[in-house]
Structures are given as structure tokens and as C-alpha cells.
Structure 1
């Protein structure tokens, strides 16, 4: 057991910090769409210029430069539009900076892995957790060349990091590269151009508490009327007082509409984003706001009454209910989903599986126990080598989306979520629980056993199951227990701890004169038997 890593403690996952809901802008006229396109194109060009200025400043950017950028944009739009643009620019630059650091860590891990494997003899087998050498000389030669490629990339990215230089594309780099491969992308030049322009539009405004309906730039009334504060160059397109434009449509938020209506009526901050879906040819508005920090339930309260251990897999969720002592109850449950097809289809599959799981847990008043998974370091091709199928499997598992959606949906239903360390759950679950839970009518899988292991770890119990006593009587004539204490285990020959409660014997356990003297318990040759 010396080679096992230290396990992290279980904790209750905090609820979501924000909410985002979406509704369609139905009934727009041709004039409305023209105005929205002109406003989005104008603000998008201003956002592109501001991003260029921010990237040129690098890590030496200070608050005075931020104020200067906002003043420069105010004259071309408005103070509130300028504030939204500069904030979005700053967030985009910070995201690119974090991604750059993650790329450095990934390249460094690849270089270290290849360097270690090249130093091993060809064909050498790896130890536990440590990879061995490469199989063939041809593979060794190919990896030696790849090592130089990764080292060159790492050197360039490190230079960018030290200089504070990031590489950002407004409109997505993938869409930009598809311009040179239109046939492979299945697009015409006109279709690509419409997508590119729509992605680079800017029509979003941050909320402001205390202002009318929580937002002065993009305003949505409780009745669903949308109005937009036009930038200064487009003020002549206004059809309402104070330079505002009101489209001929009404918005209705079906999901969390009551929460949104309460915030709008109380003039609390609500941020809006208007965007155009090129594939569907529809306009949408997204409303978002921040939730106040909510105190999560204590871990002891989440454990009270038992919980449900959940094992996340590539095509299903394996769940098993456990009582407060860690004993599996009933049969395992399986919630299937398919991660194929379009992104909308995959997302709908995940939501459907999660809502069935949550309704089952809420019906029994139980918390959920999940693994604190993070496959960011597991997706590298250098770690798993030829195991392409396994790499594709873990790369396709939406662990972050599953956890985010699970936590958000569980908070809405009042179900607590406990996260545990994922180390060894599948291995130890199959080792200690798969065979004992197998019966004539029940065939649990390795994933079902892992769900039991996850639940026991969340309850604070050891994953190893308690060994049954010997049959017939207290002697060991039919064989020893399957699990014995090691010879050097402290207290292995000592008395059992005092258990409070009524006893049938006259002397409670632990109170005898020789309770700790195992030699005196029906052992022949004890010194007390030979005393005169």
C-alpha cells in the first residue's frame, strides 16, 4: 500500500453561482433584423479593435489603460456599451491566458513522458503507474522526432507566456481555418461568410442593479417588450424616445421565468445577450444573473439517511443506493445516454439521464455521491500510447458538462451532491463488491460495483467490505477468515472497544479483570493454571 497516493477528503459540492436562460425573438420584421444586424456589426468592429489594443498591452496592462480604452469607445457608442465591450475583452484575454498556461502544462507533461520512455530499453515493461520503453525501434525513432517537435512548441509558448502575448480570434479559430477548407466543412463561401459575421457581432450588455428592469442598455420588461439603446452613430434608427429601438416582438422565458420576473420587477441586475443562429435562421436572447452565495448543507447532513453512489461512464450512469452504514440496498440502476450526433442531441441526452437520476434520488430524499473527475491530464496521447480507443473514450466523456449540469439541476431539486476522490474506485469496487453482490438473478457490472465504492467513500466508510464470520461456530475449523489482521497491526490482540447499550451478560465487555489478556481466554498453558 505504500505506492498508493493520498486520498482527498469528500466534500459537498457548492451550488451554481449563476443562471442563464434563453428565449426566441419571434415575430421580428425585416426592419427589426436590419437594425439588429447593423448594431451588432458596429459594436463587433469596436470590440475587435479594443481586443487588439488589449492584446498589444499584454501583461503590462493597468487600470489607467482600461479607463483610456473605455473613454475611446464611449464617443463611438455610449458609456454603457463601452463598459460591456471592455469587460468582454478583458474576460476573453484572461481566458486565453489561462488556456495558454494549460497548454504549457500539457506540452511539459508530454515532453517528460517521452523523455522517460526513450531512456528505457526498447521493449521494457512498465511498472505500476510508470510507463516502460517503446515496443519497437521504429516507434522509438518516431517518438524521438516528436520529442523535438514538442520541445520547439513548448519553447514558443513559453516565450509568449513570458512576454504576455496571447493569440485570440474573435469568431473562433476553427471557423476561421474552415475558410480554406470549405468543401471539407460542407459550406459555400456565402454560408461561411454569414457564419463568420454572425459570430463576430457584439450584442450583449451587463446588468445594473437599481436601474429600470435591471438593465439600461438592453431592457426587457415583465411583459416581454424588448428595447435596445442604440449607439450614437445609429441613433437615427430609433423608433422610441431617448434613442431606443423597440422590435415588434415579445419575449417569454419559459424556463425559470418566475425567477427572472421577480428580479426584473425588483430592478435587480440582469445581463442580456442577443445572438443569431445561422443554421435555424432565428434570433435569440439570453438572460443571465448571479446567484447569492448559498451555504451548502454539512457533510454529516448529506450522509444522514444514506445516499446514492453514481459512476459516470461513456454511455450511462451507474447508480446504487446505500444506507448510512454503506450497505447496498435493492438493485443497481442504470441511466443510459448516447454521446453521438449533434451537440444539441448530446446535450439533450445528458439532461434526460440526469433528470431521471435526480428524480429518483429526490423521491427517496437521498444525496448523490460522484467522483471529482478531471481528465485534463489524462487525454494526452503520450501517456496512453497506442491505446487510441481508450484515449478517444476519455476524450469523448463530457465530465465537466456532466458535473456542471448535475450540480445545477440538483440545486433546483434540493438534492445535495458529494464529491469524492476518484482514485481506485473502479478497481477496488470490482475487487471487493462485484462478486459478493452477484446472485442468480442479479449480475452487477464493474461500473455498478464502482458506484458502491463511490458511495462508501462518500459516507466515510472503507471500500473493503466487512468479512463475514466463520460458519457453524466461533472456531476456525472450516477455514480462516478471508481477511486477517497483519502481525504488526497495532492492537490486533487487544480488547474490543466498549460499545454502549444494554447487555445480556452480567459483566459488560471491556470490564473484566483480564479483558486485555488474550492468554487467559481458554488458552492452555496459561501461567494462572500452574499457580499453587
Structure 2
């Protein structure tokens, strides 16, 4: 039992704290697009300058520096635009710091894994959950050089973190690298330049409660009219009073439109962002606002009607409904999705699979149990260097996107989501449930059995099945289920240790308390065993 790691208790996942909806700006005139490009380019240059100042300040940044940065930007834009820019720069710096910490932790894990494998003999086999030594002396030498390289990177990143230095690319590092390999990215220089400029534009404004329609900078009226407060250098382009520019089109929100209309009618804060999709050639407006946290029900209340255990895989969700006692009910369900193609296609596939799962749970009025997956430490090349297909498989699983979408979509339908520890669910599910749930008309897969294990763990039941009681003709007429361990026993979900002896587990021959005293045993002809014994030959007449 010493090899099993300590498992985290299941918990109810809290609901989302914010909402974002998007609408298309259709019917823009040439002047509208020109104004949007000019405003986005001007504010984008100010955002780049402010982000540089924020990164230069590092850990010494304080509220006074923040005020001075905002004051410097106000002269070239407005007070509200400056506030949105400085807040966005601070959030970007904080995000880069979190990414830097995650990178340092990944380097430490990689160095530790290489050091462990280097310490093992070449060609030694690994134990369960841990790889063994390297296969050859050449690989051992190459990995020793890589460990020194990772140690240099770790030292450099550690020094940057101590000094508060971060590296941020406005527009994205991936798009920046595409500039040096346009052929592989299937882009021309003009196309790349257009994407690069569009990603670096800044057209977003924070909401303000008490102001008209919840936002003074980018305002959307109840009838869908969009107006923008122009920065000071571009005030001459205004076509409305008070330095505002009104777009010729109207915008509408089909999803959560009623909630958005209620907020702007009450002048509650709504943040807006205008962005341009270069691939589609369309302009979009995204509205977002905060919502009060959804009250989560106690874990015991989520068990009241049973739940649905869900196993996440690379191409489908395997689900099985369980009753309140942890018994599988009905047939397993499979919700497929295809993660090939573009990012919008993959996102649509995930949403389609989730909505089918949620509708099934809503019909039965039960909660959903899902694994709290995180593959950050499992997809490193140091642990699975030769298993490239496995690394690609787990790297392609959208566990973070799927989890966030499931929580937000379940909150809208009033469905509770329970997260469980993913340790050993696939292994124990296949060991204890795959064969018993397989029938002539149903082929139970390993993923279906894992869904049962996940559901039982969420219900507080052990994954291991109860054994069948003895039949009626044996000593116990009803039988007892003695293999079910108490909840406080460590390793209660593991397999029982093998006990030597017959299947009835009686004491084997030669191991009893009176094994040495052969006369104490009730055996016919026992005393004759010590005397001389001779068998007569059979008569020939027979």
C-alpha cells in the first residue's frame, strides 16, 4: 500500500463568476472601419508603451507609479481609456508572472526526472508509474547534456523571477515566430502584417455602474446602436456630440440577450471589446460582466438522486449513470467529438458533446462527476520521451477548456458538478467493473468501467465491487459481505492480498497448531502408517 498516493476528497465545483457574449458588427461602412482601425492603432501603441513601463517597474511597482502611468496616458487619450489600458497592462504582467512560475516548476520536474533516470543502471526496467534507466550509453550521455542545459535555463529563469523581469509579446509569441517562417505558416508577408496589427490593436473599455448603459467609453444602446468615445487626437472624426462616433450598424446578442438588456436598463457595469477577425474579415463586439457566485449545494445533497460518472478521453466522453448506492443503472453512453481542424471547429465539437451530456443529466435530475485532470506534469518529454504518440494524445485532450465549459454550461441548467481525484480510476475500473458489466448484448469498454469508478468515488463508495455471497447450500444461508472494508482503512480500494492455502482459506497441511503431532489427527489407520505394510499380489484366477 505504500506505493499508493494520498487521494483528494471529492468536492462540488464552484460556478463561474463572469459572463461573456459576442455579437457581429454587420453593415459597417468604409468610414466606420477606418475610424476603428485608427482608434485601435492609436490605443494599441499607447498600450505597448504602458506595458513596457509596467514590465520595467517589476516588483517595485506601486499605486503611485500606476497613477503616474495613467496620468501620462490621459493626455493622449482620455481618463477612461487610460484606466482600461493600465489595468490591462497590469493583468498581462501578472499573467506572465504566473506563466513564469509554471515554467520554472516544469524545469524542476524535468531536471528531477532526468537526474533520477541517470542514477539508475543503463537498461534497467522501471517500476509502476516511474520510468527506469536509459536504454543505451548514447542516450544516457545525451540526457546528461540536456540536464545541464535545463539547469542553465532554470538558473536564468530563477534570476529573472527574483528580479521581477517578465517577457511579454503583444500580439502573441506564436504569431511573432511565424514571421520568420511564413512558408510553414502558409502566410504571405502582407497577410502576416495584417494579422499582427489586428492582434496589437486595443479597443476595449471597462464598465462603470451608474453610467448610461453601463459604459461611458463604448456604449451600446438597447436598440443595438454602438458609439465610441474617441481619444483626444482623433476627436475631429466624431459624428455625434461630446466627441463620440456612432457606427452605422446595429448589434444584437442572441445568447443571454435578456440578461444583457436588463443590465444596461439598470445602468449596471458592462465591459466591451471590439476586435477584428482577419481570417473571416468580420468585426465582432464582446460584452462581459461579473455575476454573483453561484451557491454550491453540499456534497451530500448532490448524492440524493445519484449521479453520472464521466470519463474524459481524447475523442469522446464515456458516461454511465449510477444510483445513490453506486450501482450502474441502464446502459453506458458515449459522446463523441472530433478535435482535428481549426480551433473554432474543436471548440464547437466540445460544446456539442457537453450539451448532449447535460441534457441527459437534466432529464434524470442528477449531478455529474468528472475527474479533476491536469496533464501539466504528465506530458513532459523527460517522462515519456520515446512515447511520442502518447504525449501527443494527452497534449491534445482539452481538459482545461472542457472543464471550464462544463462548469459554466451546467450552472445555467442548475446541474451540480462534482470533481474527483483521477488516481487509478481507469486501472481499478477495468479491474473490478469491466468484466462483470460485460454481457452478450453489451460490450463494456475500459472507459465505461472508468466512468463507473469515477461515479462511485464521487458518491463516497469504494471502487471495488462487493463479492457475491455464498450460495444457499453452504454453511451460511444468506452470506455476509466481509470483504468491504471500513471507510477509515487505508488502501480499502486496493485488491486483497493473496493468502496462501485453498480457496476456502483453511490452514494448509503442515501449518496447524498441532502439525507435529500426527496422532492428534482423526485419521483411519493412522497407527498402521508407522508399521510395516505389504500388499499381496492379485490371484491369477481373477
Distance in 2, matches of 1:472 and 1:385, equals 55
- Name the stretch that deviates more: 295-304 or 333-342: 295-304
1:88-99 to 2 correspondence within 5 Å? 88-99=88-99
Alignment-derived partner of residue 321 in structure 1:
321
Distance in 2, matches of 1:333 and 1:418, equals 19
Deviation of residue 86 (structure 1)?
Answer: 0.1
Distance in 2, matches of 1:387 and 1:480, equals 46
Q: Is the 8 A contact 1:379 1:391 kept in 2?
A: yes
Deviation of residue 64 (structure 1)?
Answer: 0.6
3-state SS, counterpart of residue 148 of structure 2 = helix
1:82-231 to 2 correspondence within 5 Å? 82-231=82-231
Deviation of residue 483 (structure 1)?
Answer: 4.6
Alignment-derived partner of residue 277 in structure 1:
277
Compare CA radii of gyration and give the structure with the larger one.
2
Distance in 2, matches of 1:16 and 1:444, equals 35
1:34-73 to 2 correspondence within 5 Å? 34-73=34-73
Alignment-derived partner of residue 426 in structure 1:
426
Deviation of residue 126 (structure 1)?
Answer: 1.6
Deviation of residue 305 (structure 1)?
Answer: 1.0
Q: Is the 8 A contact 1:104 1:157 kept in 2?
A: yes
3-state SS, counterpart of residue 21 of structure 2 = strand
Deviations 1:272-322, CA, capped at 9 Å, x for gaps: 000000011110000001111221111111110101000000000000000
1:399–1:484 Cα change, 3 Å: closer
Deviations 1:24-49, CA, capped at 9 Å, x for gaps: 00010000000000000000000000
Distance in 2, matches of 1:481 and 1:271, equals 60
1:346 aligns with 2:346: yes
Deviation of residue 2 (structure 1)?
Answer: 2.4
Distance in 2, matches of 1:404 and 1:335, equals 18
Deviation of residue 472 (structure 1)?
Answer: 2.9
1:240–1:349 Cα change, 3 Å: same
3-state SS, counterpart of residue 326 of structure 1 = coil
Alignment-derived partner of residue 9 in structure 1:
9
3-state SS, counterpart of residue 383 of structure 2 = helix
Alignment-derived partner of residue 503 in structure 1:
none
Q: Is the 8 A contact 1:470 1:481 kept in 2?
A: no
Deviations 1:401-441, CA, capped at 9 Å, x for gaps: 00000011111111110001111111111111111111111
Deviation of residue 386 (structure 1)?
Answer: 1.2
3-state SS, counterpart of residue 202 of structure 1 = coil
Distance in 2, matches of 1:485 and 1:464, equals 10
What TM-score do you get using the length of structure 1 for normalisation? 0.89
Distance in 2, matches of 1:44 and 1:246, equals 21
Q: Is the 8 A contact 1:270 1:289 kept in 2?
A: yes
3-state SS, counterpart of residue 246 of structure 1 = strand
Distance in 1, matches of 2:266 and 2:100, equals 41
Distance in 1, matches of 2:45 and 2:222, equals 32
Distance in 2, matches of 1:484 and 1:355, equals 37
Alignment-derived partner of residue 378 in structure 1:
378
Distance in 2, matches of 1:473 and 1:249, equals 83
Deviation of residue 484 (structure 1)?
Answer: 8.4
Distance in 2, matches of 1:54 and 1:307, equals 48
Distance in 2, matches of 1:361 and 1:130, equals 38
1:295–1:137 Cα change, 3 Å: same
Distance in 2, matches of 1:243 and 1:485, equals 74
Deviation of residue 127 (structure 1)?
Answer: 2.0
- Name the stretch that deviates more: 151-160 or 225-234: 151-160
Distance in 2, matches of 1:414 and 1:223, equals 31
Distance in 2, matches of 1:406 and 1:484, equals 34
Alignment-derived partner of residue 468 in structure 2:
468
Deviation of residue 387 (structure 1)?
Answer: 1.2
- How large is the Cα RMSD of the aligned pairs? 1.7
Q: Is the 8 A contact 2:367 2:415 kept in 1?
A: yes
Residue ranges of structure 2 left out of the alignment (5+ in a row): 491-542
Distance in 2, matches of 1:139 and 1:126, equals 16
Distance in 1, matches of 2:188 and 2:440, equals 60
Deviation of residue 485 (structure 1)?
Answer: 7.7
- Name the stretch that deviates more: 25-34 or 176-185: 176-185
> How many residues end up aligned between the 2 structures?
487
Deviation of residue 480 (structure 1)?
Answer: 11
Deviation of residue 128 (structure 1)?
Answer: 2.7
Deviation of residue 135 (structure 1)?
Answer: 1.1
Alignment-derived partner of residue 505 in structure 1:
none
Residue ranges of structure 1 left out of the alignment (5+ in a row): 491-532
Distance in 1, matches of 2:385 and 2:180, equals 31
Alignment-derived partner of residue 296 in structure 1:
296
1:367–1:431 Cα change, 3 Å: same
Deviation of residue 104 (structure 1)?
Answer: 0.2
3-state SS, counterpart of residue 180 of structure 1 = coil
1:451 aligns with 2:451: yes
